[in-house]
Every structure is written in structure tokens, then in C-alpha cells.
Amino acid sequence: MEKVETRHVAVNDLEFREAADGMSFSGYAAVFNSESEWLGNFRETIAPGAFSKSLKSRNNVFLLWSHDTSMPLASTRSKTLRLSEDSKGLMVDADLPNTTQGRDAAELVRASVVDSMSFGFTVPSGGDSWSDDGQHRELRSVRLHEVSLVAFPAYRQTSASVRSIDALADVTGEDADALNSALDALERGATLTEDQAGLLNTVVAKLAPAVEPEPAPVKASDLDVLRTKLDLHFKA
């Protein structure tokens, strides 16, 4: 099975519009030819046209809140979500529903509390290419499943981040799910549980470089003892 991945656009300048018949916004869920952050062990760019095949397939794509499939806000099938490619990237234009979730999302976008988007995708065979050293990936053709409004543009829930957390778990011998939960709480500024705080302290201790203890300062009395021992040695 192809693994679903997600990527975030950190600063998106979402445009909010309010009309008599509802609330709408537009912005980019992906930007072409823009190198990503370090995704654990590689960087990534999206080639122009990477979404064209997927958009032509007319599969139903949803607008979600933070990739939560239980909270759809719009869809291409209902024509409340409109997706297109231009020279910059994947453009999203959506009408938000008059529901609690829709009104909350609209207010957060309007107040610029949320200014970021993300997209969920899979890569078909031949849809990507890698550099010889394996440190750069180019997405050439992807299957688009959803776009999301996201509050934290920080790769925490991306597959790349999951791979990083898995690697961290392997190195430290700690549980990957517990690590992900603790790091997510830390990123959101939430109060850590005692177990989460203890886990993070343990991980930091395991990864911290070994530091040689500084020699204890020599006391005057210690010098006197040392001098006496040396004198006895030379007399012997």
C-alpha cells in the first residue's frame, strides 16, 4: 500500500472573504520549486504539474481541519472546494460551511491565527525521483487526497516526521507513539504529563554528549598531604 504523506506550507497569507451567502477563503496548499525544510534525512521540492493528473481524475478531494477526516469542511464533489494549479503551486479556493467547525475555522483564518495549509498525498510508482546521495527528493506526480487548514506548520504529523520519530525511538529505545505524543504536546505549548516530561528528559539525557567531570579543586590541606608524600618518597 502507498503510504499517505502530508506536507505543510508554513506562511501562506490566506485570503478571507465574507459574503451574504457564507464565508470563503483562498490560498496555496503547495508551492512549486520551493525546497522544503529538512525532513529527517532529506529535503524535497514539488515540480510544476505534480498535481495535474490527480486533478484531472476528478477524485473527490476534501478540505479538512488539521487532517482530521471526521471534520470535513468542503469537498470538490460538492463544488465547495475548488483546486487548480498555476505557476506558483496548488491553489485552494473554498466555501466554509455554516457549522460550528466552519464558523470556528472562518474566525481563525480571518484573525490570521491560522495562516497555513497542508496537503495529504500518496506517490504512485515513478511519481518521484531521488538524488544520487539520497538527500533530495523531487515530487513529479502525486495522488492528492485532501488539503487541510493547519494551526501548526511544523511537520509534526508528516510521514517524514514520523520517520524521524521512529529513528529517534530506535536510537533511544523509547516508544515511538509516546514520543510523538510528548513532542506534539511540547510543540502546542500544552501542559506535559509527568510521564511525558520524564520521557523527554530521558531522551535528552540519552542523546546528550558525554561530558567529562571537571576535576575537583585542590584544597590547601590536600596540597600539604601531597607535599608530605613526595618528601617521604624522595627520602626513601
184-216 confidence digits (pLDDT tens): 677 666 788 888 888 888 988 888 877 666 666
Residue 182: give the domain boundaries. 156-207
Position 228 in a domain = no
Position 224 in a domain = no
Q: Are residues 94 and 128 in the same domain?
A: yes
Q: Are residues 69 and 165 in the same domain?
A: no
pLDDT of residue 50: 95
**Is-contact 73 106, C-beta < 8 A?**
no
Q: Are residues 134 and 170 in the same domain?
A: no
Q: Are residues 25 and 89 in the same domain?
A: yes
Q: CB neighbours (10 Å) of residue 47?
A: 15
Position 216 in a domain = no
pLDDT of residue 155: 37
Intervals of the chain under pLDDT 50 = 154-162, 236
pLDDT of residue 157: 37
pLDDT of residue 15: 84
Where does a domain end: 154, 180, 198? 154
Average pLDDT, the chain: 81
Residue of 105, 113, 92 whose CA lies nearest to 27: 92
Position 235 in a domain = no
User: How many H-runs (helices) and E-runs (strands) does the chain carry?
Assistant: 6, 12
pLDDT of residue 148: 92
pLDDT of residue 182: 78
Cell 474566525, residue located: 107
Total of domains in the chain: 2
pLDDT of residue 47: 95
pLDDT of residue 153: 52
Task: Quote the cell numbers at residue 217.
Answer: 579543586
Q: Are residues 64 and 166 in the same domain?
A: no
Position 227 in a domain = no
Q: Are residues 62 and 161 in the same domain?
A: no
Q: Are residues 91 and 188 in the same domain?
A: no
Q: CB neighbours (10 Å) of residue 121?
A: 24
Q: Are residues 141 and 161 in the same domain?
A: no
**Is-contact 97 106, C-beta < 8 A?**
no
Position 197 in a domain = yes
Q: Are residues 55 and 145 in the same domain?
A: yes
Q: Are residues 30 and 129 in the same domain?
A: yes
Q: What is the DSSP letter of 36?
A: P
pLDDT of residue 221: 63
